[in-house]
Amino acid sequence: MTDSADTWRDRLSEYLDEALEDSERSELEEHLEGCEECRETLVELRQVVARAGKLVDAPPARDLWPEIAYRIRETEEGERHESRAGTAEAGSSLAGRHGRSFTFSVPQLAAAAVTLVALSSGIAWQIAGGFSARQAEPAVPVAQAPAQTNLLLASRIANNDYESAIAQLERVLNVGRDRLDSATVRKVEEKLALIDKAIDEARQALSADPSNAYLNRYLVGTMRRKLDLLRRTAALTEL
Amino acid sequence: MVPDTDLDSQDAALAAEGDSGAFERLYRRHVARIHGLARRMAGPDDADELTQDAFVRAWQKIAQFRGEAAFGSWLYRVAISVILGHRRRLAIHRERTAPEEWNREGRPSHERSSEIGMDFDTAIERLPARARHVFVLHDVEGYKHHEIARMLKITAGTSKSQLHRARMLLRATLA
Ligand SMILES: [Zn+2]
């Protein structure tokens, strides 16, 4: 039987995967003997499954590690410090993107946790992404001896290519925005406004407390997020 | 020679202690498979970024990896949840830019002959989203229907029927 109401045709994958009950399986096998279309389909389905099992995974065309390394350095303090707090290592050394080395001490992170409560902007929180809520609980003894601390000052990052990269991406976006649908443009603009607000807040807070580790890290992370967002959106305009 | 799974366990333990060098070794051993998964599930445009997101998430969660399963399986779970989360966020945009090209009859809406010789990976990318996800997870990655059902928040029955749908569509690419 080869008519359009051939319900066995829909069961062929289950048959192939040996997922049919015994009784159904023998019924289907009986049907197969008389139905050429199902027999052919079954052969093709087997080939599809065999191909799926032989797919080869080529590595990505570009090395994705450097950006991952950068991002995990950024989240390192936030996500895992509570597990390392109290060990002999009071500080954790981080290498900056431009080869600078900087260190956050445990007491500073405790201070940062307090600052965080003061910052308390839910929006800023969301954008900061990689920081865990647990960070807000200062489980770290503040009395511990402070380690030698070299802070990466956000202002130094600003002196790098950041501003010009932002400006360039904004130009690309202005030229290409017609190619984006209005919902996307609106979303991006909303996000950018939130990020800019967070950057402003962080800069203001830093001017009052320039050596605050958390604020420095937070500002750098927020600036990076702005770059990422602009880059991704600019890429969309090229589709 | 030490098997990769043993190297993985060692490096995962080191990475959980904050050793980013060990984590980079894990990245090098697994990036091709994670990238392939991301590309097939979400398409080539987002694959790089999703791969990076998946590894960053894995780094953040690696303390939770207890070593009961192989590191590779654990990493896969993390990657799948990142990829599916991304899919949900971008759903609207994607539907607009990549309308379904296959009709409901289980055949491409255009000439079948034009599909012959089409790269199998490309054909997978062109499947409707749900059928593609189920197919990749089941036939490429080897997950069971009940596992896929949990990941995709669908029933096992839907998983089965979407798998069949995907396979039927992909027959068109067989030369
Ligand atoms: Zn039949």
Instruction: Supply the CATH number for residue A45's domain.
Output: 1.10.10
Nearest to B48 by CA among A235, A170, A125: A235
Token duo for residue A129: 């992404």
DSSP-derived 3-state class of residue A3: coil
Q: How far is A60 from chain B (nearest CA, A)?
A: 6
Q: Tokens for A157, please give them.
A: 């990052």
Same domain, A189 and A134: yes
Answer whether residue A192 is part of any domain.
yes
Mean pLDDT confidence for A72-76: 76
A58 inside domain: no
- In this structure, the answer to whether residues A116 and A202 fall within a common structural domain is yes
User: Does A139 share its domain with A24?
Assistant: no
The residue behind tokens 């009071």 is: A90
Q: Do residues A98 and A196 share a domain?
A: yes
The sign of the CA dihedral B125, B126, B130, B132 is negative
Mean pLDDT of B150-171: 96
pLDDT (mean) for B111-136: 78
Q: Identify whether A60 is part of a domain.
A: no
Task: Please report whether residue A133 resides in a domain.
Answer: yes
Cα B168 vs. chain centroid, distance in angstroms?
20
B51 vs A: CB within 8 A? yes
Residues of chain B in contact with residue A232, where contact means CB-CB under 8 angstroms, are 49
Contact A177/B at CB under 8 A? no
The mean pLDDT of chain A is: 66
Assess B120–A contact: CB distance below 8 Å, yes or no. yes
Question: How many percent of chain A have pLDDT more than 70?
Answer: 56
Q: Are residues A8 and A103 in the same domain?
A: no
d(CA A20, CA A86): 58
Both A25 and A77 in a single domain?
Answer: no
What confidence tier does A99 reach under pLDDT thresholds 50, 70, 90?
Answer: very low
Give B90's pLDDT tier (boundaries 50, 70, 90).
low
A18 Cα: distance to centroid of ligand 1 (angstroms): 18
Q: Under an 8 A CB cutoff, do B56 and A183 touch? A: no
pLDDT digits (tens, 9 = 90+) for A2-34: 455 789 999 999 999 999 999 999 999 999 999
CA of A2 to the centre of ligand 1 (A): 6
Compute, in angstroms, the gap from residue B164 CA to the centroid of ligand 1.
Answer: 15
Domain membership flag for residue A13:
yes
- Identify the domain containing residue A82 by its residue range: 65-236
Q: How many domains, in total, are found in chain A? A: 2
Domains defined along chain B, listed by start: 1-97 (1.10.1740.10), 108-175 (1.10.10.10)
Are residues A69 and A45 part of one domain? Answer: no
User: Is residue A137, in this structure, part of any structural domain at all?
Assistant: yes
* % of chain B surpassing 70 pLDDT: 80
Q: Do A52 and B59 touch (CB under 8 A)?
A: no
pTM of the model: 0.58
Do A45 and A147 share a domain, yes or no? no
Asked whether residue A59 is domain-assigned, the answer is no
